C-alpha cells in the first residue's frame, strides 16, 4: 500500500498549501510581447529591469491570477496594470529551469478577470545579481568544478554571459516546476515554453556601464539602430538595442566582454585580444569547411541572411553553447576539432528549419559526412558510434514511459529529447543517404524551404520526388513514431558449393526490434569482401544471397550505420567442411 500512503501525504500537503496560496494555472498565459529596459552593472554583477510585458490568456477559462517568474537571485520591485500597482505575493519557487534551481515567483492578483484569448499589459520592475551559480547541478551530485563549466552564466567584472530560459530566467517566464532528477522534465518544460513563445516579440534596450574601454555587447537577436556610448571621466555608459521579431526557437542571450573582432566571409568571431591565434585557426577551419557545406546544402537561406557568429567564452573549459548560427565556445587551436565545429555551425547558417530534428540532425549529419570525406567511411561510423549508446539509452527510457502510459510520444517530429533530435536524427539522415543516394538527397535538400515545411510529410515527399522511391515505412518507423531501434542478428547462413571453387551463400537476417531498416550485410571471403544492402522490416526477417568466387569465411550485419539496441550477434563464422579427397 505504498502508493496510497504517498498519495495521502501529498493530499495533506496540497490542502495545506492551498490554504495559504492560490490555485494557479502557471501555463495559462502566453507572453506575447516584451519591451524591456535592461541595465547591467558588471562591477556589481547587477541587473535591473524595467519594462512592459503583454500576456494573453491561452487557456479555456477566465484567469484572475497569474504567475511571473524570474531567477531566484532577482527580486520583484513593482508590478502595475494601467499605472496602478497590483497586489502580488512574492515567493521562492523550486525549479531547475534556472541555474540557481529556484525562481522568484510573483503571484499576481489581477484587478479583473482576463477572458480566454484576451490580453493584459503589465508594467514591471525587478533587480538583483546574476552570479556564477550551479546549484541545480551540484545538488544532484555533479562535482562543483564540472558544474561550473556547464552553468557558466554570470554577470562579471571582466566577462558577462547570460543565457535565457533553461539557464537564467533574466526575463519573466511562467512554467510549472521542472526537476533535473525527474527524467527529461527540464527539457520538456523549456520545450513547452518555447512552443508557446514562437510568435512572441522581445525588444530589449541593453545598457551597461563601467570603467576604461567600453566593453562590447553581443546578443543573438537583430541589432537595432540604437547604439551609443558615452564617456564621462573614467566611466562609460553604453546603450544597445536587440530585438527578436519573433523569438522563434531562440533562447535570448547577451554577452559583454572586451572583444576584438575577426571578420571573414563565412564567419565573424568575437575574441579576447590575447587569443588571436586560436581565432584565426577557427576562421581558417570555417574557410576550409565552407565549400563542403555549400556543396551539400546550397546557398545560405536562413530565416534572414545570417552569418555564422562565434563568441569566445572566457572559461577555457566551458561547455560550448549554440543558439541558431551563434556559437559560444572557448577557442581551441586544434584545427581538426575547429573544422568539425565549423561544419556544424555553417550548416546552421545555411539551412534553417523550424523542426529541431532537421535543423540539428542535419548539422550533426554534416559533421559525419565531412569526416567521411576527410578520413573515410569508418571514421564517420566511429564518430556516429559515439552517439549510439546515448540513443539506445534514451530509447530505453522512452519505452518505459510509453509502457507506463505517461508523457508524450518521442517521435522525431515532436521530441524535446536531445539524444533524439540530435543523435538519432543524425543516424536517420545517414540512413536516408544510404537508401536514396547522395545526389537525390542533395537535390531534395536544395528544394527544402522552411516556410513550406507545414505538413508532417513535406520532407518525405521532397525526398521521394528525387529518389523515385516509396519511403512511407521508413518515415513511419523513424520519424513519425518512436518505435525504438532495430535489433539485428544473423538467423542462418547456408553456404553451398557450386562448380569450381564457387559458392552461393544464403543469409537470413532477423530483426527483433520495433523499427525496420535497410542494413548492410557483408560477406568476407578468402579473397575480398562483398556488401549488399538488405531491408529487414520490424519484427521480421529477410534473406539475401551472395555468390562467392573464393571460400566464404564470415558474414557480418550492420557496419554501424544503423543504430541498434544491441550490437552483439553481428558476426557469423562460416565453417566449410574440409573437402573429401
Ligand atoms: Zn546545432
Residue 159 CA to ligand 1 centre (angstroms)? 24
Q: Which alpha helices (H) appear in 198-275, and where do they start and end?
A: none
CA distance 374 to 298: 20
DSSP-assigned states of every residue in 398-441: HHHHHHTT-S----TTT---HIIIIIIHHHHHHHHHHHH-HHHH
Is the pLDDT at 268 greater than 70? The verdict is yes
Residue 338 CA to ligand 1 centre (angstroms)? 14
Name the pLDDT band for 23 (thresholds 50, 70, 90).
confident
Residue 496 CA to ligand 1 centre (angstroms)? 50
Q: What pLDDT shows up at residue 406?
A: 61
Residue 41 CA to ligand 1 centre (angstroms)? 31
Give the pLDDT mean for 94-108.
Answer: 97
Name the pLDDT band for 17 (thresholds 50, 70, 90).
very low
Cell of 132: 556564477
Q: What is the percent of the chain where pLDDT is above 70?
A: 94
Question: Which residue reads 566577462 in cell numbers?
Answer: 159
Residue 308 CA to ligand 1 centre (angstroms)? 12
CA distance 432 to 479: 11
Is the pLDDT at 581 greater than 80? The verdict is no
Name the pLDDT band for 164 (thresholds 50, 70, 90).
very high
CA distance 392 to 565: 5
Residue 345 CA to ligand 1 centre (angstroms)? 7
Residue 565 CA to ligand 1 centre (angstroms)? 25
Name the pLDDT band for 300 (thresholds 50, 70, 90).
low
Give the pLDDT mean for 175-181.
Answer: 94
Residue 246 CA to ligand 1 centre (angstroms)? 20
Query: Max alpha carbon distance in the chain (Å)?
Result: 105
Beta bridge partners of 203: 35, 243
Cell of 505: 551463400
Is the pLDDT at 9 greater than 60? The verdict is no
Residue 581 CA to ligand 1 centre (angstroms)? 64
Query: Considering the entire predicted model, what is its pTM?
Result: 0.86
Residue 516 CA to ligand 1 centre (angstroms)? 27
pLDDT tens, position by position, 541-573: 999 999 999 999 999 999 999 999 887 778 999
Residue 344 CA to ligand 1 centre (angstroms)? 6
Residue 321 CA to ligand 1 centre (angstroms)? 9
Residue 38 CA to ligand 1 centre (angstroms)? 28
Residue 361 CA to ligand 1 centre (angstroms)? 8
pLDDT tens, position by position, 411-459: 999 888 889 999 999 999 999 999 999 999 999 999 999 999 999 999 9
Residue 199 CA to ligand 1 centre (angstroms)? 21
Q: What pLDDT shows up at residue 408?
A: 62
Give the pLDDT mean for 198-208.
Answer: 95
Residue 348 CA to ligand 1 centre (angstroms)? 7
Is the pLDDT at 155 greater than 60? The verdict is yes
DSSP-assigned states of every residue in 96-119: TTSTTSEEEEEEEEEEEEEPTT-E
Residue 343 CA to ligand 1 centre (angstroms)? 10
Residue 490 CA to ligand 1 centre (angstroms)? 37
Q: Which helix (H) or strand (E) holds 191?
A: helix 185-197
Q: What pLDDT shows up at residue 74?
A: 98
pLDDT tens, position by position, 362-372: 999 999 999 99
Residue 346 CA to ligand 1 centre (angstroms)? 10
Amino acid at each position: 500500500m505504498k502508493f496510497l500512503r504517498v498519495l495521502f501525504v501529498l493530499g495533506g500537503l496540497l490542502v495545506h498549501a492551498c490554504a495559504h496560496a492560490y490555485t494557479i494555472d502557471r501555463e495559462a498565459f502566453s507572453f506575447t510581447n516584451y519591451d524591456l529596459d535592461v541595465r547591467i552593472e558588471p562591477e556589481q554583477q547587477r541587473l535591473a529591469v524595467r519594462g512592459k510585458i503583454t500576456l494573453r490568456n491561452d487557456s479555456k477559462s477566465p484567469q484572475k491570477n497569474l504567475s511571473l517568474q524570474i531567477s531566484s537571485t532577482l527580486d520583484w520591485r513593482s508590478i502595475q496594470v494601467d499605472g496602478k500597482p497590483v497586489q502580488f505575493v512574492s515567493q521562492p519557487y523550486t525549479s531547475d529551469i534556472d541555474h540557481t534551481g529556484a525562481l522568484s515567483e510573483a503571484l499576481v492578483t489581477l484587478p479583473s478577470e482576463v477572458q480566454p484569448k484576451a490580453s493584459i499589459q503589465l508594467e514591471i520592475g525587478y533587480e538583483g545579481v546574476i552570479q556564477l551559480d550551479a546549484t541545480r547541478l551540484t545538488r544532484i551530485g555533479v562535482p562543483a568544478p564540472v558544474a561550473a563549466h556547464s552553468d557558466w552564466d554570470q554577470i562579471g567584472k571582466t566577462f558577462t554571459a547570460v543565457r535565457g530560459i533553461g539557464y537564467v530566467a533574466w526575463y519573466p517566464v511562467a512554467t510549472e516546476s521542472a526537476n533535473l532528477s525527474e527524467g527529461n522534465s527540464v527539457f520538456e518544460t523549456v520545450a513547452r515554453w518555447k512552443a508557446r513563445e514562437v510568435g512572441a516579440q522581445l525588444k530589449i534596450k541593453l545598457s551597461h556601464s563601467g570603467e576604461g574601454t567600453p566593453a562590447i555587447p553581443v546578443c543573438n537577436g537583430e541589432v537595432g539602430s540604437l547604439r551609443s556610448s558615452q564617456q564621462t571621466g573614467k566611466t562609460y555608459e553604453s546603450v544597445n538595442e536587440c530585438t527578436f521579431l519573433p523569438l522563434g526557437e531562440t533562447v535570448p542571450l547577451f554577452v559583454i566582454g572586451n572583444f576584438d573582432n575577426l571578420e571573414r566571409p563565412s564567419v565573424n568571431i568575437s575574441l579576447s585580444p590575447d587569443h588571436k591565434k586560436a581565432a584565426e585557426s577557427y576562421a581558417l577551419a570555417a574557410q576550409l569547411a565552407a565549400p563542403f557545406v555549400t556543396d551539400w546544402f546550397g546557398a545560405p537561406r536562413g530565416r534572414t541572411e545570417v552569418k555564422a557568429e562565434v563568441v569566445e567564452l572566457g572559461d577555457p573549459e566551458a561547455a560550448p553553447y549554440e543558439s541558431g548560427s551563434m556559437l559560444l565556445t572557448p577557442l581551441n587551436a586544434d584545427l581538426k576539432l575547429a573544422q568539425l565545429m565549423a561544419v556544424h555551425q555553417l550548416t546552421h547558417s545555411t539551412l534553417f528549419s523550424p523542426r529541431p530534428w532537421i535543423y540539428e540532425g542535419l548539422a550533426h549529419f554534416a559533421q559525419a559526412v565531412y569526416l567521411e570525406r576527410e578520413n573515410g567511411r569508418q571514421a564517420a561510423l566511429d564518430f556516429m558510434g559515439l552517439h549510439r549508446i546515448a540513443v539506445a539509452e534514451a530509447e530505453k527510457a522512452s519505452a518505459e514511459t510509453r509502457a507506463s502510459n505517461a508523457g508524450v510520444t518521442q517521435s522525431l517530429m515532436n521530441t524535446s529529447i536531445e539524444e533524439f533530435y540530435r543523435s538519432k536524427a543524425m543516424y536517420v539522415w545517414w540512413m536516408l543517404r544510404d537508401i536514396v543516394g547522395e545526389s537525390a538527397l542533395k537535390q531534395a535538400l536544395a528544394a527544402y524551404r522552411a516556410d513550406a515545411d507545414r505538413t508532417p510529410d513535406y520532407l518525405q515527399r521532397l525526398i521521394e520526388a528525387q529518389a523515385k522511391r516509396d519511403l512511407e515505412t521508413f518515415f513511419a518507423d523513424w520519424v513519425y513514431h518512436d518505435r525504438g531501434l532495430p535489433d539485428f542478428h544473423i538467423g542462418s547462413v547456408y553456404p553451398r558449393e557450386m562448380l569450381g571453387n564457387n559458392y552461393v551463400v544464403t543469409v537470413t537476417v532477423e530483426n527483433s526490434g520495433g523499427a525496420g531498416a535497410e542494413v548492410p550485410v557483408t560477406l568476407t571471403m578468402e579473397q575480398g569482401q562483398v556488401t549488399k544492402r538488405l531491408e529487414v522490416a520490424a519484427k521480421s526477417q529477410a534473406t539475401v544471397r551472395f555468390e562467392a568466387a573464393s571460400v566464404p569465411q564470415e558474414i557480418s550485419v550492420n557496419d554501424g550505420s544503423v543504430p541498434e539496441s544491441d550490437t552483439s550477434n553481428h558476426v557469423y563464422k562460416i565453417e566449410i567442411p574440409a573437402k573429401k579427397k
